[in-house]
Amino acid sequence: MAENEESEIAGEFGRTLRLALAGAMQAREVAARRAQMSAAQQQAETERQRHGQAVLARSVGQELHSTQFWKKAGSESIADHVTVAAHLAQHHPEARLGYMHAADRLRNDYGVNIEQINRDHPNALAERHAALRDALDDYFDRYRQDDHHDAAQEAQQQQQLESEEQTQTASREADSAAAVAEEAADLDKASDRQAEAHLDRMNTMTAEQAGDRQPETYQRMTPEQLAQIERAANNPELAGVRGRQSLTFGSPTGQRTQAASQALGRARSGRALTQGKVQEAGLSR
């Protein structure tokens, strides 16, 4: 039953559309053929036509209210349904409601004004059908162009975002590398300071063990100070000054102690020698 009804609707849709587009001449031809029929045939044809158009009006009204129809239909299909609904609207409320809904949908969603098309083409549905189809073709062309432009713009924005992300990634990697290098440099400096502190402690311990000076913190000479000392050591004018200083200032403690011990030993040897000589002289007397 459903398949037969769909086939009947499709057939009636095509006949009604052709009749609507054919105009007054086609209507007169249909009337002339019916005049040649018998009364019974005319009544049967009238009943068939009334039933078919009622079913078609209900179907077209439902289609024009369907969201899926507007999502899938192209300019030719929309123009056909609107034209059939306009042709049936005078005697079938479902078709009239469908036509009014289509007019609102076309104005709000497609920017097409059916009332203006009807005013521009007041005499024939065929002219209105063609004008509506052309207006919808223009809309779909603009839509495809806008969609292509949006796709290109979206691709450009995506490319720009990827480029910015790559730049940010490179910047983060550079910052990370710089931080690693700075940390390595800090570790090297800390290692150098530890090595210098260890060397200072070793030098201090060595100086303390030598015993020729009081323990004190070892201080490393700078290259400038070392060069100044070398220049002073090689300066002949300062040789005399150092000689006089050696006469003025005493010898180190170790040297003075050793010299005193040697002097005491010589004094004791002298006294012993003198006493021997005295005793020897007494015996000789």
Over 60: is that where the pLDDT of 217 sits? no
- The predicted model gives 159-180 an average pLDDT of 81
Task: Give the whole-angstrom CA distance, residue 230 versus residue 51.
Answer: 129
Query: What is the C-alpha R_g of the chain?
Result: 62
The pLDDT of residue 270: 54
Which amino acid, residue 76?
E
The rounded distance, in Å, linking the Cα atoms of 263 and 66 is: 135
- DSSP secondary structure letter of residue 213: S
pLDDT (average), residues 279-285: 45
pLDDT of the residue at 64: 96
Which of 232, 231, 239, 202 lies closest to 218 in space, CA to CA? Answer: 202
Q: What is the pLDDT of residue 72?
A: 93
More confident residue, 8 or 124: 124
Identify which has the larger pLDDT, 128 or 10.
Answer: 128
- Residue with the bigger pLDDT between 264 and 190: it is 190
More confident residue, 37 or 133: 133
Return the sign of the alpha-carbon dihedral for residues 182, 188, 190, 193: negative
Place of tokens 């913190």: 217
What's the mean pLDDT in 155-180?
79
Measured between alpha carbons, how far is 4 from 206 in angstroms, rounded to an integer?
118
Full-model pTM: 0.47
**pLDDT for residue 192:** 76
Q: At what angle do helices 75-88 and 2-22 cross, to 10 degrees?
A: 80
pLDDT the model gives residue 10 = 80
> Average pLDDT, stretch 20-44?
65
Mean pLDDT of the chain: 75
pLDDT for the residue numbered 244: 58
Read off the amino acid at residue 12. E
- Token pair of 226, please? 């070392």
Q: What would the mean pLDDT of 147-173 be, rounded to a whole number?
A: 72
Higher pLDDT among residues 12 and 216, named by residue: 12
